[in-house]
Amino acid sequence: MERPAENEYAPFYHKYISLIPNGDILQLMEKQNEQFCEFLAQFDEERANYRYAKDKWSIKEVIGHLIDVELVFMYRAWRFSRNDKASLHGFEQDEFIANSDFSKLTLSELVEQFYHMRKAAIPMFSSFTDDMWCRKGTANDSTFTVRAIAYIMVGHVIHHMRMIHQKYMQKVS
């Protein structure tokens, strides 16, 4: 599967797609799922609730955000794969976090949720025909292909793994 062209997604998402190494996107999704869960194993409950600044998300909230995004983007890909021409609304990530309480869940519960959400995405994307991967739809006033959504999902997790490493790792040692 070719990397999506820049006209297959909103410019904002280029920063995520540019992070993805070459390779089969479905294999990358599978591998990333294992790597992300292993990466999170180095955190304990106390550190998973740590915020590096006053109004920043905790690690649990970052994981919750990733779960939210996986679900929203899976839904978008599914709708677009079915050639749905309805324009889908965007979502406000900060409102989603403010209206959830990820601190009440254990780190292992959040990791398990992410793991299963991604595990569900892989067979969904695997079931798409070549034609479906190229279908387009509109979300948040921008046009995306199904292929671009898969790439965005992988790049989004890479981005947040890097942010966790950069902003939270000093608290792990």
Judge whether 5 lies within some domain.
no
Judge whether 115 lies within some domain.
yes
* Confidence (pLDDT) at 1: 80
Only one residue has tokens 């919750």, namely: 64
Decide: 161 and 36 in contact? Cβ < 8 Å: yes
Judge whether 129 lies within some domain.
yes
* Confidence (pLDDT) at 170: 65
Judge whether 19 lies within some domain.
no
Judge whether 10 lies within some domain.
no
Judge whether 7 lies within some domain.
no
Judge whether 128 lies within some domain.
yes
Decide: 114 and 63 in contact? Cβ < 8 Å: yes
* Confidence (pLDDT) at 173: 46
- Per-residue burial over 64-76, b if 16 or more Cβ lie within 10 Å, else e, is bbbbbbbebbbeb
Judge whether 13 lies within some domain.
no
CATH number for the domain spanning 121: value is: 1.20.120.450
Task: Assign 3-state DSSP to the chain and report helix, strand, coil percentages, each to 5.
Answer: 65, 5, 30
Specify the number of domains making up the chain. Answer: 1
Domain of residue 44 covers: 25-171
CA dist 152 and 76 (Å) reads: 12
Tens-digit pLDDT string for the chain (173 aa): 899 999 999 999 999 999 999 999 999 999 999 999 999 999 999 999 999 999 999 999 999 999 999 999 999 999 999 999 999 999 999 999 999 999 999 999 999 999 999 999 999 999 999 999 999 999 999 999 999 999 999 999 999 999 999 998 865 44
Question: How buried is residue 142: exposed, middle or buried, by Cβ count under 10 Å (0-12/13-18/19+)?
Answer: middle
